[in-house]
Amino acid sequence: MTLTPQVSTERGGNGSASEGAPRLAVDGPVVITGICGRLGRRLARRLHRVRPVIGLDERPFPDRPKDIEHHQLDIRSNRARDVLRRRDVAAVVHLGVRHDPRPKSPEHHTSNLMGFQRLLDAVHQFGIGKLVLLSTANVYGPRPDNPQFLSEEAPLLGAGAFSDMRDLVELDMLTQSFFWKRPDIETVILRPSHIVGTVRNAPSNYLRLRRVPTLLGFDPMIQLVHQDDVVRAIELSLAPGVRGIFNVAGPPPVPLSQALALLGRATLPVPHSVAKLSVDRMWRWRITSFPAPDLDFIRYVCMVDDRRARQVLGYAPAYDLVQTLKSVDEERW
Protein backbone atom coordinates (compact mmCIF):
# COMPACT_ATOMS: atom_id res chain seq x y z
CA MET A 1 0.00 0.00 0.00
CA THR A 2 1.29 3.40 -0.84
CA LEU A 3 1.26 6.03 1.83
CA THR A 4 1.90 8.95 -0.45
CA PRO A 5 -0.67 11.63 0.15
CA GLN A 6 -3.40 11.31 -2.41
CA VAL A 7 -5.30 14.13 -3.93
CA SER A 8 -8.68 14.98 -2.67
CA THR A 9 -10.78 18.00 -3.12
CA GLU A 10 -12.86 17.40 -0.03
CA ARG A 11 -11.90 18.63 3.37
CA GLY A 12 -10.20 16.11 5.61
CA GLY A 13 -11.66 14.99 8.94
CA ASN A 14 -11.69 17.31 11.88
CA GLY A 15 -8.17 17.85 13.10
CA SER A 16 -6.83 16.36 16.26
CA ALA A 17 -5.72 18.57 19.14
CA SER A 18 -5.75 21.88 17.35
CA GLU A 19 -6.51 25.32 18.53
CA GLY A 20 -9.70 25.91 16.63
CA ALA A 21 -10.58 24.81 13.15
CA PRO A 22 -8.14 26.08 10.52
CA ARG A 23 -9.02 29.23 8.72
CA LEU A 24 -9.58 28.91 5.03
CA ALA A 25 -10.46 32.42 3.95
CA VAL A 26 -10.05 32.70 0.20
CA ASP A 27 -9.10 36.35 0.39
CA GLY A 28 -7.19 36.25 3.68
CA PRO A 29 -3.55 37.27 3.87
CA VAL A 30 -0.88 35.02 2.36
CA VAL A 31 2.54 34.80 3.95
CA ILE A 32 5.33 34.19 1.46
CA THR A 33 8.67 33.14 2.88
CA GLY A 34 11.67 33.88 0.70
CA ILE A 35 9.66 36.58 -1.03
CA CYS A 36 12.76 38.48 -2.12
CA GLY A 37 13.95 35.83 -4.52
CA ARG A 38 13.18 36.36 -8.17
CA LEU A 39 10.35 33.84 -8.12
CA GLY A 40 9.01 35.20 -4.82
CA ARG A 41 8.82 38.74 -6.15
CA ARG A 42 7.00 37.57 -9.25
CA LEU A 43 4.50 35.65 -7.14
CA ALA A 44 4.02 38.63 -4.79
CA ARG A 45 3.38 41.01 -7.68
CA ARG A 46 0.77 38.68 -9.01
CA LEU A 47 -0.97 37.88 -5.72
CA HIS A 48 -1.07 41.31 -4.10
CA ARG A 49 -3.70 42.48 -6.56
CA VAL A 50 -6.24 39.98 -5.25
CA ARG A 51 -5.37 39.45 -1.59
CA PRO A 52 -3.09 40.82 1.12
CA VAL A 53 0.50 39.59 0.87
CA ILE A 54 2.95 39.46 3.74
CA GLY A 55 6.61 38.86 3.00
CA LEU A 56 9.00 37.05 5.31
CA ASP A 57 12.63 37.09 4.28
CA GLU A 58 16.01 37.99 5.70
CA ARG A 59 16.74 40.02 2.60
CA PRO A 60 15.37 43.48 1.82
CA PHE A 61 12.64 43.83 -0.79
CA PRO A 62 13.68 46.62 -3.18
CA ASP A 63 10.95 48.59 -4.97
CA ARG A 64 8.25 46.72 -3.13
CA PRO A 65 4.64 47.54 -4.02
CA LYS A 66 3.14 49.72 -1.27
CA ASP A 67 0.48 47.28 -0.17
CA ILE A 68 2.84 44.38 0.43
CA GLU A 69 3.82 44.12 4.06
CA HIS A 70 7.43 42.95 4.36
CA HIS A 71 9.22 41.70 7.45
CA GLN A 72 12.95 41.38 7.20
CA LEU A 73 13.29 38.46 9.58
CA ASP A 74 14.79 35.01 9.89
CA ILE A 75 11.93 32.52 9.85
CA ARG A 76 13.43 30.87 12.91
CA SER A 77 12.99 34.02 15.02
CA ASN A 78 10.17 34.58 17.49
CA ARG A 79 9.25 37.74 15.69
CA ALA A 80 8.62 35.77 12.53
CA ARG A 81 6.33 33.57 14.58
CA ASP A 82 4.52 36.66 15.80
CA VAL A 83 3.91 37.67 12.20
CA LEU A 84 2.19 34.35 11.63
CA ARG A 85 0.15 34.69 14.81
CA ARG A 86 -1.07 38.17 14.03
CA ARG A 87 -3.46 39.07 11.26
CA ASP A 88 -5.60 36.02 10.48
CA VAL A 89 -3.11 34.51 8.07
CA ALA A 90 -4.97 32.20 5.70
CA ALA A 91 -2.09 30.58 3.84
CA VAL A 92 1.67 30.14 3.92
CA VAL A 93 3.71 29.69 0.76
CA HIS A 94 7.20 28.45 1.55
CA LEU A 95 9.69 29.54 -1.08
CA GLY A 96 12.41 30.15 1.47
CA VAL A 97 14.33 26.98 0.66
CA ARG A 98 17.97 27.71 0.07
CA HIS A 99 18.73 25.92 -3.15
CA ASP A 100 22.28 27.22 -3.30
CA PRO A 101 24.25 23.99 -3.41
CA ARG A 102 27.38 25.52 -1.91
CA PRO A 103 26.91 25.76 1.85
CA LYS A 104 27.83 29.27 2.89
CA SER A 105 28.12 28.29 6.52
CA PRO A 106 27.50 25.26 8.68
CA GLU A 107 24.15 26.84 9.42
CA HIS A 108 22.86 26.18 5.93
CA HIS A 109 21.36 22.80 6.67
CA THR A 110 19.95 23.87 10.04
CA SER A 111 18.41 27.02 8.69
CA ASN A 112 16.61 25.09 6.00
CA LEU A 113 15.29 22.35 8.24
CA MET A 114 14.92 24.14 11.57
CA GLY A 115 13.35 27.14 9.91
CA PHE A 116 10.86 24.99 8.12
CA GLN A 117 10.09 22.95 11.23
CA ARG A 118 9.31 26.16 13.11
CA LEU A 119 7.13 27.26 10.25
CA LEU A 120 5.22 23.98 10.37
CA ASP A 121 4.79 24.33 14.13
CA ALA A 122 3.33 27.79 13.67
CA VAL A 123 0.98 26.65 10.92
CA HIS A 124 -0.11 23.80 13.20
CA GLN A 125 -0.54 25.93 16.29
CA PHE A 126 -2.28 28.90 14.73
CA GLY A 127 -4.50 26.77 12.55
CA ILE A 128 -3.46 28.35 9.28
CA GLY A 129 -5.62 26.65 6.67
CA LYS A 130 -3.19 26.23 3.82
CA LEU A 131 0.48 25.39 3.43
CA VAL A 132 2.20 25.33 0.05
CA LEU A 133 5.75 24.05 -0.29
CA LEU A 134 7.61 24.69 -3.51
CA SER A 135 9.68 21.52 -3.71
CA THR A 136 11.34 20.39 -6.93
CA ALA A 137 11.29 17.46 -9.35
CA ASN A 138 15.00 17.09 -8.61
CA VAL A 139 14.04 15.21 -5.44
CA TYR A 140 13.34 12.18 -7.66
CA GLY A 141 16.86 12.38 -9.02
CA PRO A 142 18.19 11.69 -12.53
CA ARG A 143 18.77 7.95 -12.84
CA PRO A 144 19.43 5.51 -15.67
CA ASP A 145 16.43 3.41 -14.64
CA ASN A 146 13.96 6.25 -14.29
CA PRO A 147 10.70 5.81 -16.15
CA GLN A 148 10.38 8.50 -18.80
CA PHE A 149 7.82 10.32 -16.67
CA LEU A 150 7.85 10.05 -12.89
CA SER A 151 4.57 10.11 -11.04
CA GLU A 152 4.06 11.70 -7.64
CA GLU A 153 4.32 8.23 -6.07
CA ALA A 154 7.89 7.67 -7.29
CA PRO A 155 10.47 7.35 -4.50
CA LEU A 156 12.60 10.40 -3.74
CA LEU A 157 16.03 9.10 -4.64
CA GLY A 158 17.61 12.45 -5.48
CA ALA A 159 19.84 12.48 -2.45
CA GLY A 160 21.41 9.13 -3.28
CA ALA A 161 24.00 10.50 -5.66
CA PHE A 162 24.13 14.00 -4.32
CA SER A 163 24.04 14.43 -0.57
CA ASP A 164 23.48 18.19 -0.75
CA MET A 165 20.09 17.42 -2.21
CA ARG A 166 19.23 15.96 1.20
CA ASP A 167 17.80 19.23 2.48
CA LEU A 168 15.25 19.37 -0.28
CA VAL A 169 14.26 15.73 0.10
CA GLU A 170 13.90 16.13 3.86
CA LEU A 171 11.76 19.25 3.49
CA ASP A 172 9.53 17.37 1.10
CA MET A 173 9.28 14.44 3.53
CA LEU A 174 8.57 16.71 6.50
CA THR A 175 5.72 18.26 4.56
CA GLN A 176 4.37 14.83 3.67
CA SER A 177 4.25 13.79 7.31
CA PHE A 178 2.63 17.10 8.15
CA PHE A 179 0.01 16.29 5.52
CA TRP A 180 -0.95 13.20 7.52
CA LYS A 181 -0.63 14.81 10.91
CA ARG A 182 -3.03 17.62 10.11
CA PRO A 183 -5.53 16.36 7.54
CA ASP A 184 -7.66 19.44 8.19
CA ILE A 185 -4.93 21.76 6.95
CA GLU A 186 -4.66 21.82 3.19
CA THR A 187 -1.06 20.91 2.54
CA VAL A 188 0.25 21.19 -1.00
CA ILE A 189 3.63 20.12 -2.34
CA LEU A 190 4.55 21.33 -5.80
CA ARG A 191 7.36 19.55 -7.62
CA PRO A 192 8.14 21.56 -10.74
CA SER A 193 10.69 20.37 -13.30
CA HIS A 194 13.60 22.69 -14.20
CA ILE A 195 12.36 26.25 -13.69
CA VAL A 196 13.80 28.64 -16.25
CA GLY A 197 13.54 32.36 -16.71
CA THR A 198 15.22 35.31 -15.08
CA VAL A 199 15.62 33.21 -11.94
CA ARG A 200 19.09 32.28 -10.82
CA ASN A 201 19.08 28.53 -10.53
CA ALA A 202 21.24 25.80 -12.02
CA PRO A 203 19.15 25.08 -15.16
CA SER A 204 18.73 28.77 -16.07
CA ASN A 205 22.39 29.49 -15.43
CA TYR A 206 23.34 26.48 -17.53
CA LEU A 207 21.22 27.64 -20.45
CA ARG A 208 22.67 31.14 -20.13
CA LEU A 209 26.24 29.95 -20.72
CA ARG A 210 27.68 31.31 -23.96
CA ARG A 211 29.20 27.97 -24.86
CA VAL A 212 27.26 25.15 -23.27
CA PRO A 213 29.16 22.01 -22.26
CA THR A 214 27.29 18.79 -22.92
CA LEU A 215 28.23 15.17 -22.33
CA LEU A 216 29.56 13.42 -25.40
CA GLY A 217 27.10 10.76 -26.53
CA PHE A 218 24.38 11.71 -24.07
CA ASP A 219 21.34 13.68 -25.12
CA PRO A 220 18.51 13.07 -22.67
CA MET A 221 15.01 14.42 -23.03
CA ILE A 222 14.55 17.43 -20.79
CA GLN A 223 11.55 19.19 -19.39
CA LEU A 224 11.59 22.91 -18.70
CA VAL A 225 8.95 25.11 -17.14
CA HIS A 226 8.66 28.87 -17.41
CA GLN A 227 8.92 30.75 -14.10
CA ASP A 228 5.54 32.38 -14.64
CA ASP A 229 3.91 29.01 -15.20
CA VAL A 230 5.24 27.97 -11.79
CA VAL A 231 3.86 31.18 -10.30
CA ARG A 232 0.49 30.32 -11.78
CA ALA A 233 0.66 26.78 -10.41
CA ILE A 234 1.30 28.21 -6.93
CA GLU A 235 -1.64 30.55 -7.39
CA LEU A 236 -3.86 27.65 -8.43
CA SER A 237 -2.76 25.57 -5.48
CA LEU A 238 -4.01 28.33 -3.15
CA ALA A 239 -7.57 27.63 -4.27
CA PRO A 240 -9.72 26.21 -1.47
CA GLY A 241 -10.01 22.44 -1.39
CA VAL A 242 -6.71 21.72 -3.15
CA ARG A 243 -4.37 19.43 -1.25
CA GLY A 244 -1.76 16.81 -2.12
CA ILE A 245 1.37 16.49 -4.18
CA PHE A 246 1.56 17.85 -7.71
CA ASN A 247 4.25 17.55 -10.33
CA VAL A 248 4.43 20.63 -12.51
CA ALA A 249 5.85 20.54 -16.02
CA GLY A 250 6.01 22.95 -18.92
CA PRO A 251 5.78 22.36 -22.67
CA PRO A 252 6.40 18.84 -24.10
CA PRO A 253 9.92 17.53 -23.50
CA VAL A 254 12.68 17.81 -26.11
CA PRO A 255 16.18 16.42 -26.42
CA LEU A 256 18.73 18.66 -24.73
CA SER A 257 20.51 19.20 -28.06
CA GLN A 258 17.33 20.52 -29.62
CA ALA A 259 16.71 22.94 -26.76
CA LEU A 260 20.24 24.30 -27.12
CA ALA A 261 19.84 24.57 -30.89
CA LEU A 262 16.61 26.54 -30.45
CA LEU A 263 18.48 28.93 -28.16
CA GLY A 264 21.26 29.18 -30.72
CA ARG A 265 23.93 28.14 -28.25
CA ALA A 266 27.27 26.70 -29.25
CA THR A 267 27.89 23.42 -27.49
CA LEU A 268 31.04 21.78 -26.26
CA PRO A 269 30.66 18.02 -26.00
CA VAL A 270 32.93 16.57 -23.32
CA PRO A 271 33.34 12.88 -22.42
CA HIS A 272 31.64 12.12 -19.14
CA SER A 273 34.79 11.03 -17.30
CA VAL A 274 36.62 14.23 -18.27
CA ALA A 275 33.64 16.40 -17.43
CA LYS A 276 33.20 14.78 -14.05
CA LEU A 277 36.80 15.22 -13.08
CA SER A 278 37.12 18.80 -14.29
CA VAL A 279 33.80 20.00 -12.89
CA ASP A 280 34.74 18.46 -9.57
CA ARG A 281 38.03 20.34 -9.54
CA MET A 282 36.49 23.59 -10.72
CA TRP A 283 33.82 23.29 -8.06
CA ARG A 284 36.42 22.88 -5.36
CA TRP A 285 38.41 25.84 -6.65
CA ARG A 286 35.17 27.81 -6.89
CA ILE A 287 35.47 28.43 -10.61
CA THR A 288 32.06 26.96 -11.37
CA SER A 289 28.75 27.08 -9.55
CA PHE A 290 27.76 23.63 -10.81
CA PRO A 291 28.54 20.68 -8.54
CA ALA A 292 29.68 17.52 -10.34
CA PRO A 293 26.62 15.39 -9.44
CA ASP A 294 24.50 17.89 -11.38
CA LEU A 295 26.04 16.39 -14.53
CA ASP A 296 23.56 13.55 -14.19
CA PHE A 297 20.81 15.98 -15.15
CA ILE A 298 22.33 16.24 -18.64
CA ARG A 299 23.02 12.50 -18.72
CA TYR A 300 19.83 10.76 -17.60
CA VAL A 301 16.15 11.61 -17.73
CA CYS A 302 14.41 13.16 -14.76
CA MET A 303 11.03 14.17 -16.06
CA VAL A 304 7.67 14.27 -14.35
CA ASP A 305 4.15 13.30 -15.22
CA ASP A 306 1.99 16.39 -14.62
CA ARG A 307 -1.38 14.82 -15.34
CA ARG A 308 -2.58 15.27 -11.77
CA ALA A 309 -1.80 19.00 -11.79
CA ARG A 310 -3.65 19.35 -15.08
CA GLN A 311 -6.71 17.50 -13.82
CA VAL A 312 -6.97 18.71 -10.24
CA LEU A 313 -5.36 22.16 -10.31
CA GLY A 314 -6.56 22.93 -13.82
CA TYR A 315 -2.96 23.80 -14.59
CA ALA A 316 -1.62 24.01 -18.14
CA PRO A 317 1.58 25.75 -19.19
CA ALA A 318 0.90 29.08 -20.90
CA TYR A 319 4.35 29.38 -22.44
CA ASP A 320 5.48 27.24 -25.34
CA LEU A 321 8.93 25.79 -25.67
CA VAL A 322 10.51 28.68 -27.54
CA GLN A 323 9.10 31.29 -25.17
CA THR A 324 10.19 29.23 -22.19
CA LEU A 325 13.72 28.86 -23.55
CA LYS A 326 14.10 32.48 -24.59
CA SER A 327 13.03 33.64 -21.15
CA VAL A 328 16.52 32.90 -19.79
CA ASP A 329 17.92 35.73 -21.89
CA GLU A 330 15.27 38.25 -20.89
CA GLU A 331 16.38 41.39 -19.17
CA ARG A 332 16.64 40.80 -15.47
CA TRP A 333 14.91 43.17 -13.16
Report the alpha-carbon distance of residue 108 to residue 101 in Å, rounded: 10
Q: Which of 276, 268, 281 is nearest to 295 (CA)?
A: 276
Q: How far apart are CA 164 and CA 148, in angstroms?
A: 24
Give the type of residue at 270: V
Which alpha helices (DSSP H) does the chain contain, by range? 38-47, 78-85, 107-125, 166-181, 202-208, 227-237, 256-263, 272-284, 307-308, 321-326
Q: Using the rule CB under 8 A, is 157 a contact of another protein?
A: no
Least separation in angstroms between residue 216's CB and another protein is 6
DSSP per-residue letters across 49-107: TTS-EEEEESS--TT--TT-EEEE--TTSHHHHHHHHSTT--EEEE------SS-SSTH
65 or 252: whose CB is closer to another protein? Answer: 252
Q: Pick the closer one to another protein by CB: 224 or 242.
A: 224
Determine, following the binding rule CB under 8 A, whether residue 74 of this chain makes contact with another protein.
Answer: no
- Identify which of residues 14 and 148 has a Cβ nearer to another protein in the complex: 148
Binding another protein (rule: CB under 8 A), the pick from 106, 148, 266, 286 is 148
| Shorter beta-carbon distance to another protein: residue 178 or 315 | 315
Query: 99 vs 308, which CB is nearer to another protein?
Result: 308
Nearest Cα residue to 130 out of 2, 54, 266, 23: 23
Cβ closest to another protein, residue 255 vs residue 314: 255
Q: Does 218 bind another protein (CB under 8 A)?
A: yes
Nearest distance, CB of residue 236 and another protein, angstroms: 23
Looking at residues 248 to 307 of the shown chain, list those that interact with another protein (rule: CB under 8 A): 252-255, 271-272, 300
Strand, helix or coil for residue 283: helix
- The CA distances from residue 76 to 26, 103, 121, 178, in Å, are 27, 18, 11, 18
Span 219-248, contacts to another protein by CB under 8 A:
219-221
Residues in contact with another protein, counted by CB under 8 A, come to a total of 21
Residue 32 vs 256, nearer CB to another protein: 256
| Single residue of 8, 46, 58, 149 touching another protein by CB under 8 A | 149
Among 217, 285, 286, 331, binds another protein (CB under 8 A): 217
What CA–CA distance (Å, rounded) separates 71 from 95? Answer: 15
**φ, ψ at 35 (rounded to 5°):** -70, -20
Residues making contact with another protein (CB under 8 A): 144-149, 151, 215-221, 252-255, 271-272, 300
